[in-house]
A and B are shown apart, each in its own frame.
Chain A
Amino acid sequence: MKTIKYSVILLLLIAAVLLPVFTDAYFISVAITILTFMTLSLSWDMMLRTGQLSFGTAGFFGLGGYTAVIISADLGVDPYTSIIIGGLVAGSIALVLGIAILKLREIYFAITTLALASVFSVIIRNLHKITGGPSGKIVYQTLFDYDSTKIYWLMLGIALGTIVISELFKRTRIHFAVDSIRADEVVAKSHGVDIFKYLIFVFVVTSMIQGVVGAAYAQQYGFVSPESTFSAHYLLLPISMALVGGIYSTIGPIVGAIILGLSSEYLKLMMPYGHLIIYGVIIVLVVLFIPRGVYGTIRDFISERKHR
């Protein structure tokens, strides 16, 4: 059983890496977008597993992007390093903020993280000299000069790294800590689990991932602006993908990203007007009829059959 699983994974991996060879640049650019959102979706799900609903994805995504573009344009840092630094900056800010707000619970934490993206956006918008203000900032040398194949491999690498981290979280001690926190905090605490330490750790790691993705995304196009980089789009879409695919899993966000990413692009080509209505209808139908997400339903179905 296990060898079959591993060989399937290996085949998928090879197919993913070789994708640019078989398809055209358009499909690759759609794939890049899907990978970007997939990574955001996975990072959001990882935080969700601790029981804390975070709405901060867009905020850290934008922070990473702005950091990368600012240090690239003003300090001449090369794009690749800037992506790493973007992630580190996002992570550090997450650390500081996390210590302050992770004591909040549930909806209050969620709303505060939601407010974060707006706060970052307002601050950046008003600091003209450093950030270029509302018009945004551009950097002339874009990543790989927009060679979509190389960008695809970079995003694929980031996505794979996130998948590995997600699985690591599931298999190590972190998994037990996190699951037990989600189930019942009081019980977890009485077992000696330092809730706070684990929450901060997961928060910082997921924010770093979001920062890295944001930096890579910004460097790809070579520009950032408060209106587009902090858009709620980068929050709502990853969450939808995780929910459509199936939360509390690694495969769920992956599946959800592929489904929603492909359908949004191809629906538009089929229906130039009103395709977003259909998109909304799809989401509503999925919630009503497949509440556990596509992967979640399949997984439960399989395990039900196993236990017959």
Chain B
Amino acid sequence: MKDLEKSAFWKKNSKLIYLITAIALLALWRPHAILYGIQRGSLYSLIGLPLSLTLGVVGIMNLAHGDFLSLGIYVSYMFFMNLGVDPLLSIVPVTLILFGVGVLVYKLTITKVLKSGHLNQLLLTFGISMILIESLNVIWTSRPRNVYVPYASSSMTIANFTFGTYELLYVLFAFAVLIGFQLFLKKTRLGQATYAVGQNPRGAKIVGINIGFVYLVVFGVSIAILGIVAGVMLPRSSIFPMVGAPYTMRSFCLVAMAGLGNLPGILISGIVLGIGEAIVQSIPGYSGWSDLVFFGVLIAVISIRSMRRLAL
């Protein structure tokens, strides 16, 4: 049994091992680009992971995902400006607050559209997105703000190679959240119930799982995670109402690339896309094409996967 398991492990993870080797080689060629790519890519993954959970379990395409991130950033900003709380420390209260917001939004609106079909859910989240962005705009105006903490631009030098260290936090948190999710899904009762609901909602109901409660927790948690991201992003990012919006689209791309329900895939896809972007950006004169990397790789992966599934 053990030998079979071992060879199955290598087989299953061979692609991953090739990938890591490729990245290591690229790192020798363009070290800065790879590092920045890993850092940025982890940020994309960090934001994409909660969306994958929501989409996979509750089935909702949350167009307001990035705007909840913007909300979290503003709340974090308030903690910093009014109470002097360090951004990383403010992660705790902001996460709790956003959990509450997620639960509130879920109870008020999402429960009602669960049966109305995907399109109505889409339109609902579009409406929520608009309300969020415009409310932030009215309260704080579109003028960007910033918070300054000295360690946000800290750097380290190893063997003549100087690099920024703050954004490694993105990598740290991305892995932490992924591992946290995996542990939750596999080891806790609620997590196992969530996994069941994600696989087969009707079956889960028959077995007696309270689907409504599972949905509530999942949605709340996914918005809460954005609170963590907000705290980590705060010192590095300008704060304005549309700050989170571009990440919504990127998160959907990650979910499409990794496939529904594939949480580790989100982390890998995010990092790969981040590296791709960074490499293109480091080529003088071609950085304008870096967006294309994102979409090009996305389309390629989706097409390849669909061609393999062309049994139908």
Contact = CB atoms under 8 A, between A and B. Distances in A.
Consider the complex of A and B and state whether they touch directly, i.e. have CB atoms less than 8 Å apart: yes
B288 interface: yes
Contact of A280 (B112, B113, B130, B298): B130
B299 interface: yes
B306 A108 contact: yes
A103 B61 CA distance: 21
Given A283-B127, A287-B120, A122 B291 contact: yes
A53 interface: yes
B109 A288 contact: yes
Interface in A127-144: none
User: Which residue among B118, B134, B260, B288 has the maximum number of chain A CB atoms within 10 Å of its CB?
Assistant: B134
Interface in B121-142: 122-124, 126-131, 133-135, 138
Nearest to B132: A280
Interface string A161-186: 00000000000000000000000011
A93 interface: no
A9 interface: no
B249 A114 contact: yes
Interface residues of A, number: 41
Interface in B250-281: 252-253, 255-256, 260
B113 A288 contact: yes
A101 B300 CA distance: 10
B188 interface: no
A48 B112 CA distance: 23
Nearest to A236: B126
B109 to A, nearest CB: 6
Given A100-B303, A239-B123, A114 B252 contact: yes
Given A283-B126, A287-B124, A291-B120, A115 B253 contact: yes
B296 A119 contact: yes
B302 interface: yes
A111 B291 contact: no
Nearest to A292: B116
B119 A284 contact: no
Contacts of B119: 48, 53, 239, 243, 247
B310 interface: yes
A247 B117 CA distance: 12
B4 interface: no
B83 interface: no
Contacts of B303: 100-101, 104
A53 B256 CA distance: 15
B306 A284 contact: no
A103 B249 contact: no
Interface string B43-87: 000000000000000000100000000000000000000000000
Contacts of B292: 119, 122-123
A186 B164 CA distance: 54
Nearest to A274: B138
Contacts of B213: none
A236 B295 CA distance: 19
A193 B291 CA distance: 39
Contacts of A282: 127
A284 B123 CA distance: 8
User: Which residue among B118, B123, B124, B289 has the maximum number of chain A CB atoms within 10 Å of its CB?
Assistant: B123
Contacts of A280: 127-131, 134
Interface string A276-288: 1101111110111
B28 interface: no
A240 B131 contact: no
A118 B291 contact: yes
Nearest to A273: B138
A21 to B, nearest CB: 36
B307 interface: yes
Given A247-B119, A280-B127, A283-B127, A103 B288 contact: no
Contact of B306 (A103, A114, A274): A103
Interface string A197-211: 000000000000000
Interface in A233-281: 236, 239-240, 243-244, 247, 273-274, 276-277, 279-281
A282 B123 CA distance: 11
Given A111-B298, A239-B123, A277-B135, 16 more contacts: A101-B299, A101-B303, A103-B307, A104-B302, A118-B291, A119-B295, A122-B288, A122-B289, A276-B134, A279-B130, A280-B128, A281-B131, A283-B127, A284-B124, A287-B109, A288-B124
14 contacts: A101-B299, A101-B302, A103-B306, A114-B249, A118-B291, A119-B296, A122-B291, A186-B312, A280-B128, A280-B131, A282-B127, A284-B109, A284-B124, A284-B131
Interface of B: 61, 109, 112-113, 116, 118-120, 122-124, 126-131, 133-135, 138, 249, 252-253, 255-256, 260, 288-289, 291-292, 295-296, 298-299, 302-303, 306-307, 310, 312
The list of the 7 closest CB pairs from A to B, nearest first, reads A280-B130, A283-B127, A280-B131, A284-B127, A276-B134, A115-B295, A111-B256
